[in-house]
Amino acid sequence: MKRFTISIFIILILGISLFPNLVSAQPNEMPEWVSQVIQHWSNGNIDDVEFFYAMNFLANNNIITKDSFKNQLVKIQKTSDVEDTLVHSSYRVFVDSFPKDSELDHSIIDDAVLFWKKNNVNFILVDDQHMANAKIFWIKEMDGPNDGYVIKGDRIEIGLGTSIDGKWHGYDKKSITFLVKHELGHFLGCPHSADPQNIMYPKYNEYTKYDHLPVC
């Protein structure tokens, strides 16, 4: 992974340095050196996560546009779903393994990622927490009054249960899915909402759909 990280950013730096007149984005045009980067990615020579991160960097700095990126994907016959890298704000997320005695599964994360994608946020899962913008960790029981926290801006802790009369009770899958969606919202800077159907509502109700998207 590190090999890809170093190589693609060397290419970006060299491209911007050697071709300063070609870094201003045009609606349907793309610098040739960027096209070559995309071709290398298409051939499997560049890791997906680092490629998406680099393309967002270029778009945010007005070096390429969404239209030129889309046109280039058409040329190399890549599927349109990868256009999301520029349509959505992208963040890399590391998710710790569930406890061995847990019956929970990765569909919790899949549901949360899909939910936020509807709100124009693209969470890309990575295996290396050092590459992640956000890190999710599972805590058997939280010490404080809340079941989820965002700590120091990038560490997300999700409580998996609580003790009642000295006996620990695990939360169900739906509850934890809500917590993950909710805390990812706090990671993005979303405040609590007074709307009971908004995912940023501070209290969970198992009968609520939470289909109202927040404004962050």
pTM of this prediction?
0.64
Q: How far apart are CA 133 and CA 123, in angstroms?
A: 10
Extents of the domains making up the chain: 2-87, 91-187
Q: What is the 3-state secondary structure (H, E, C) of 88-122?
A: CEEEEEEECCCCCCCCCCCHHHHHHHHHHHCCCEE
Two tokens at 22?
């070609």
| Averaged pLDDT, 188-196 | 91
* Residue 119 confidence (pLDDT) above 70: yes
Two tokens at 83?
């256009």
| Averaged pLDDT, 23-40 | 68
Domain 91-187 fold: Collagenase (Catalytic Domain) (3.40.390)
Cβ atoms 39, 76 nearer than 8 A: yes
Confidence class of residue 195 from pLDDT cuts 50, 70 and 90? very high
Average pLDDT, the chain: 78
* Terminal CA-CA length for the chain: 32
**pLDDT tens digits, 70-94:** 777 666 655 444 444 444 578 889 9
Q: Look at 57 and 11; give whichever has higher pLDDT.
A: 57
Q: How far apart are CA 13 and CA 17, in angstroms?
A: 6
pLDDT attached to residue 206: 87
**Lowest mean per-residue pLDDT among 12-26, 38-52, 178-192:** 12-26
Task: List phi, psi (to 5°) of 193.
Answer: -115, 150
